[in-house]
């Protein structure tokens, strides 16, 4: 919800575009780290990445994906690695359309979003 995202930055479109570009630039590395953490059963890293993505996604108005990231954060904190595996897959699926929409907002066409 880009309107909610704009409200989160007091209507400052330029700031939101910068935040979106940063998110789009940094998210592939975070998702790679998440996949590695899941494969290594590294609950602390799963928790940290879930927390970070939850906060970023809430700021950007992506409440559905933020909810999955929050569940991932909890799974990491509680060392529920089976849940974390499924949630990591769900988060990846939820992020695809979010990243396309954000790329379009920031001036791209979304086609190069990984």
Token couple for 44: 């602390």
Helix runs in the chain, H state only: 2-8, 13-39, 43-59, 63-77, 81-105
Question: What pLDDT is attached to residue 113?
Answer: 36
Tell me which residue has tokens 């066409």. 109
Question: What pLDDT is attached to residue 105?
Answer: 87
For residue 60, give the 3-state DSSP assignment.
coil
Q: Which residues of the chain have pLDDT under 50?
A: 109-114
Query: Considering only CA atoms, which of 40, 41, 89 is closest in space to residue 69?
Result: 89
* DSSP one-letter code for 69: H
Question: What pLDDT is attached to residue 107?
Answer: 78
pLDDT tens column, 75-108: 999 999 999 999 999 999 999 999 999 999 887 5
């Amino acid at each position: 919800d880009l309107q909610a995202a704009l409200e989160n930055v007091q209507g400052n479109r330029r700031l939101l575009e910068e935040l979106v570009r940063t998110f789009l630039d940094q998210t592939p590395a975070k998702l790679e780290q998440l996949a590695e953490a899941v494969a290594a059963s590294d609950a602390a890293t799963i928790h940290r990445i879930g927390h970070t993505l939850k906060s970023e996604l809430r700021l950007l108005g992506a409440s559905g994906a933020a909810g999955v990231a929050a569940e991932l954060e909890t799974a990491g904190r509680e060392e529920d690695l089976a849940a974390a595996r499924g949630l990591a897959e769900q988060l990846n699926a939820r992020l695809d359309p979010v990243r396309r929409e954000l790329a379009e907002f920031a001036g791209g066409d979304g086609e190069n979003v990984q």
